[in-house]
Structures are given as C-alpha cells and as structure tokens.
Amino acid sequence: MAHNSEELHSLRHDEIKPEIVIGNGKSKQSIPLGDQRKAVLRQELMVFLINLGILVGGMSLALPAVTLDQLTNPAEPIHLDKSQSSWFASASSIACPVGSFSGVFLVDKIGRKKSILLVNLFAIIAWILMSTAFYDNPSLVFLQLMISRMFSGLATGMGGSPASVYGAEVCLPKLRARLTMVASMAIAAGVLFAYVVGYFIRNDWRLIGMVYLVYQIICLILLIPVKETPSWLLSKGRVKEAKASLSYFRGLDDGETHDEVEAEFALLRKTIPLKSKGIKKVSIWKSIRLPEVHKPLLLGVIFFAFQQFSGTFVVVVYAVQIITKAGVEADPFLCAIYVGIARFVVASVVMTWQLEKWGRRPVSIFSAATTSICLFLLAGPTWFPWLQIPTLSAAVIVGFVVSSAGLWTIPFLILPEIFPQKVRGSFCGISIGCAYLLSFSSIKIFPSLMDWMGGNGNVFAFYGTMALLSIFFVYWFIPETKGKTFLEIEDYFRRRKSTIHENDVEAKECCVGVVPREV
C-alpha cells in the first residue's frame, strides 16, 4: 500500500497550521502542539512512571556485584561454590530472552501499560523469593535464589520492549530520542541503586531483597494513572479512547479539540490497521520476510552482539570483583557507586544531549572508539608491568563505563525507531530477547574466559577488539535516524537507499510522531 503523499505533503509544509486552544476558544499561531510545555510535561511524566519498574533490569544485573562477596565467602554458613556463583550471576540473563519472547505477544496483545504491570509483578515475586530464603540447607537456598534470579530475568526481558515502544509512540520526532532513552536511563539508574544499597548493606543479601521488594511495590502503585498509547488503542479498534489519549499527550484537556490533533488522528486511522475493520493481522513469520522487518532485525542482533562482547554488561555484573583484582586500594563498593554514578550521568544527561545534537551514528562511533582505547589500557598491565598502577586502573575503569554508555544505550534506543508500527512491539521483543541470550553467554563464560585466556588482561584485549570492529559495522550498516519520521526510516529499509539525509529539514516539520506505513 503506498503512502498518502498529499497528506504527508500537507503535514510537512504546514498547510495544517498548529494552533493552541485558549480560554475563550480563540487560537493563535504557535509551535507544534506536541512540543508545547504542557504536552511535553505530560509525555515526560507518563514515560517516567512507565519506566520506574524497568529499574529491575539494572538492579538484577548489578545484584551479583554486591552479593557475591558474601555468597562465596567460605566463612558464611550458606555459601556458593565457583560453579554456583557463575550460575547465580548469569541466571537472570538466561531468563531474559524468555521474558522478551513472551513480551513479543503480550506487548501487542494486552498493551504497553499492562505489560509493564506484569513486569512489576514478576519482579515482586523475585524479591519475595530472595528475601525469604531462610534455610539451613545450602542446596535449598541455592535453588530458591536461582528461581528468584529467573523471575527477575523474566521481568527484565519483558520490560525492555514495552518501555521503549511507549516512549516512541507518545511523542513527536523532536522528543523521540529523549523519551526513548529513558528506558536505558532506567537500567543505569537500577545499577546505581543496586550499588548504593550494596554499599550500606554488605553482609545481608536477604535484606537487600527486602529493600528491592518495597521499591517494586511502590512502582506497581504508581503505574495506576499511566495512560495507554493512542497507537495501540487505535490498533484494537478503541477509537474514542485512542483519540482521548492522543489529546492528552498533546496537552489538551477533556472536551477540547484542535486542528493539529484532528489531522494527526486522521492520519493514524489510515496508517494503523483497525481491529474493528476486520483487517487480519500479518503474522510474525510472514512479516519477517519483508525487507523493512528482517533488515532491522538482523542489524539489531549484530549490534547487540558487538555490545555484549565489548564487555559492557560484564563489567557491571562483576564490578566489585574487577575493581578488587585491578589492585585498587579504595573501598570496591564505593568505587562501584562511582562507576554507577558515572554511567547514569552519562546515560541520562550527556547521551541525551549528544544524541539530539550529533545523531545516533556519530555517538556510536565515538563511544566504540573510546571504549576500545579504555579496554586496551586495562589489558596493558598484563603485557607491560610498569602500567600496573592502581590509580590508573581505577581511572580507566571509570573511563570505560563513561565511554561505553553509547554502546550500552544506542542499540536499545534505535529498536523502536527502525521497526514498522504494526510489528514494532513484537520485533523489539525478539531483538531484545536475542540481546539477552548474548548477555547470558558473555556473563556466564567470563570466569572461564579469564582462565582460558590467561587472566583479565587478554579478556579485556578481546573486548577491545570487538569494540573496535563495531566502529566499522556502525559506519557501513547502521542508518542515521535522528529527526526522521517512522515513514522515512521504513522506506530506507524497504528501498535500501544509500543514506537517510541527515539534514532533511522537512522530516523535522512533520507533526506526526507515529506515522508508519501499513506492513
């Protein structure tokens, strides 16, 4: 089905003039409705609330870093051996793909909000299991901890797709990077939260579980006022609710109307298949044969492979242990907090500014290059003993965390941008599921990799090489999506143009945040 070029032309060239509704019903020329302060605040609030529960991903990822010292201490009555500890560290990641692949169906079946509700429920179960493992039998404790890690992995995997898609669907292109980035920021915040809790509670992993439990219950309560996205509501034939949702996210109050909202909603109705019209949904297996689907899927999975085998997740999981082995004399838990702060600040402030100013590709290339340098510096002491300086190692570890923020966030950021609306939730979930399978592999084999490759140094050199290779991958294959509508991105993959014009001003003028072509 071809695009309606006249509608898109009118949107691009301001034939539909943005107006705002004021008290006496008069209107005036203004900036696009969705970019006005009231609308932006509403979008930011809803995205913030939907992502609070996603902190479970960072909390679960960083949990081994703050509990393994106690759990592997032979002096403790209950402790894990080397094999058990590696399973404890990686079990969450192996359950993540199950959650992601389950979320493939749930995010489109029950909606973005209800999917996040399930995420919080699974997380609550995980922390209940962890905080109540009071047994004298080490085998029973290990079993309950493994089940807890599985549930936290399910929650992490299920949360990635709906959270990212939610941010992409409620905003206009100008804000898309900022609000889609919140999901990655939430993971970074979860890591920092875990490190802070671990700093104050070092010798009671059950109490850590109780703190996590209280937090997750609060998140569940705060989800009550969250609005569902207009795109999903419309795809289910809930037209009245969809229009009310769109009006809310564009800053209108109940009963108010606006020409710009009417135009955007009319275009949504034509570009999103309605369940009420009896249009049969295209299956995942048929969709994957379309170039605008399988090309983004392949690029996303390869990008995730470079991300995982550049050590971005491994350093978070084994932060305290890596800092200790590097010979840093400072408190490793305190150092871990500094690492968490650095990642969160970069992921939330610097990355958002860079992405909006530079775009996805330049930030990815810069991040991969600096990450590679840091990793080779970490490997240096293995080959050059005179580089064995604890202060230098500490600085390089922090530098790695800061520089790898791009590799950490951008693969997740671009997923809801590069898939068509009709399959966005499903294929975001599939891609993130593959990412967590890769994450499990990298985390599980890290201790064995150190033994096989002769220590941390050679492992870091391997990670540095992968980061270096990712530069060439991004340069040749990843398109620039900054400021582009979903229509333009979808056309890029369908027609495989050599480039998406980075300075296309018309793309920025389009007043529609979600205007995909029907698959």
In 10 A of CB 454, how many CB atoms?
10
Cα 83 to Cα 90, 219, 315, 499: the distances in Å are 11, 34, 19, 48
Contact partners, residue 149, CB within 8 Å, separation at least 6: 60, 63, 88, 91, 92, 95, 126
DSSP string computed for 387-411 = G--HHHHHHHHHHHHHHTHHHHHHH
Q: Look up the domain containing 392 and give its range.
A: 37-230+280-498
Query: Do residues 241 and 278 make contact, with C-beta atoms less than 8 angstroms apart?
Result: no
Domain-located, residue 21: no
Domain-located, residue 13: no
Half-sphere exposure of 136 (CA within 13 A, CB side): 0
What ranges in 272-404 are assigned the alpha helix state H?
A: 284-287, 291-308, 312-317, 319-325, 332-345, 351-358, 360-383, 390-403
From first CA to last CA, the distance across the chain in angstroms is 8
Domain-located, residue 7: no
Burial (CB count within 10 angstroms: exposed 0-12, middle 13-18, buried 19+), residue 224: exposed
The token pair that represents 35 in the structure block: 């970019």
Domain-located, residue 30: no
- How high is the pLDDT of residue 464? 92
Q: What is the distance between the alpha carbons of residues 337 and 340, in angstroms, rounded to a whole number?
A: 5
Long-range CB contacts (< 8 A, 24+ apart) of 147-151?
A: 148/209, 149/60, 149/63, 149/88, 149/91, 149/92, 149/95, 150/91, 150/92, 150/95, 150/126, 151/95, 151/122, 151/123, 151/125, 151/126
Domain-located, residue 197: yes
**pTM higher than 0.85, yes or no?**
no
Domain-located, residue 484: yes
Mean pLDDT by 10-residue block, N- to C-terminus, for the chain (519 residues)?
42 37 43 80 91 91 88 88 86 81 80 93 96 90 94 88 82 72 81 91 93 96 93 89 91 84 84 53 72 87 90 77 68 79 70 70 89 88 73 78 80 80 76 81 81 79 92 90 76 63 37 34
Burial (CB count within 10 angstroms: exposed 0-12, middle 13-18, buried 19+), residue 31: exposed
CATH of the domain at 489: 1.20.1250.20
Q: What is the distance between the alpha carbons of residues 489 and 389, in angstroms, rounded to a whole number?
A: 47
- How high is the pLDDT of residue 507? 35
Element (H, E) at 19: strand 19-21
Beta bridge partners of 21: 27
| Residues 226, 231, 234: CA angle, nearest 5 degrees | 105
Q: What is the distance between the alpha carbons of residues 171 and 35, in angstroms, rounded to a whole number?
A: 8
Residue in the block written with tokens 């089940």: 147
The token pair that represents 463 in the structure block: 């990670």
Residue type, 371: T
Cα 192 to Cα 67, 197, 335, 337, 344: the distances in Å are 14, 9, 11, 6, 7
Three-class DSSP category at 196: helix
Number of domains in the chain: 1
Domain-located, residue 82: yes
Domain-located, residue 66: yes
Q: What is the dihedral of CA 369, 416, 42, 357, to 10 degrees?
A: 30
Give the residue among 102, 52, 80, 92 at the shortest CA–CA distance from 429: 102
